[in-house]
């Protein structure tokens, strides 16, 4: 079946502009995660959605970052007033179950964001 998809695959923007990144999880997966991966670095957790529960936003680096998940499926990560340090690959992952259970996260291809 279809995997996790993300769009756009690449985004170049100017400092100060807002950007929206989209994630379509695997159908039926209740858990959705956003991560940031800087060049040569590991995955930095940003936010976690599980069903209709309030999201875990503990990883968001600043109030310029926000995310929502509509209808328990598609998610959008928004970065306002982008800064050059926001340049990174933004990865989305989904999982059939939430935290506390043994699960595997399935990742999308990522959105490569470059802030000039």
Q: Give me the residues that bind other proteins (CB under 8 A), please.
A: 4, 6, 35, 40-43, 45, 91, 93, 99-100, 102-110
Report d(CA 46, CA 2) in Å as an integer: 24
Residue among 19 and 92 whose Cβ is closer to other proteins: 92
Residue among 82 and 111 whose Cβ is closer to other proteins: 111
Chain centroid offset of residue 61 CA: 13
Bond prior to 91 in cis (omega within 30° of 0): no
Report d(CA 79, CA 62) in Å as an integer: 9
Residue among 19 and 93 whose Cβ is closer to other proteins: 93
Distance of closest approach, residue 75 Cβ to other proteins, in angstroms: 15
Distance of closest approach, residue 73 Cβ to other proteins, in angstroms: 18
Q: Could you tell me which residues come within 8 angstroms of residue 9 by beta carbon, excluding any fewer than 6 positions away?
A: 109, 110, 111, 112
Distance of closest approach, residue 100 Cβ to other proteins, in angstroms: 6
């Amino acid at each position: 079946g279809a995997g996790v998809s993300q769009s756009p695959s690449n985004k170049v923007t100017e400092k100060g502009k807002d950007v929206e990144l989209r994630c379509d999880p695997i159908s039926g997966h209740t858990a959705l995660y956003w991560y940031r991966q800087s060049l040569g670095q590991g995955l930095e957790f940003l936010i976690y959605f599980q069903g209709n529960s309030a999201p875990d936003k503990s990883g968001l680096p600043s109030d310029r970052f926000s995310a929502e998940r509509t209808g328990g499926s598609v998610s959008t990560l928004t970065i306002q007033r982008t800064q050059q340090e926001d340049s990174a690959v933004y990865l989305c992952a989904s999982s059939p179950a939430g935290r506390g259970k043994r699960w595997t996260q399935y990742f999308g291809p990522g959105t490569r964001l470059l802030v000039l």
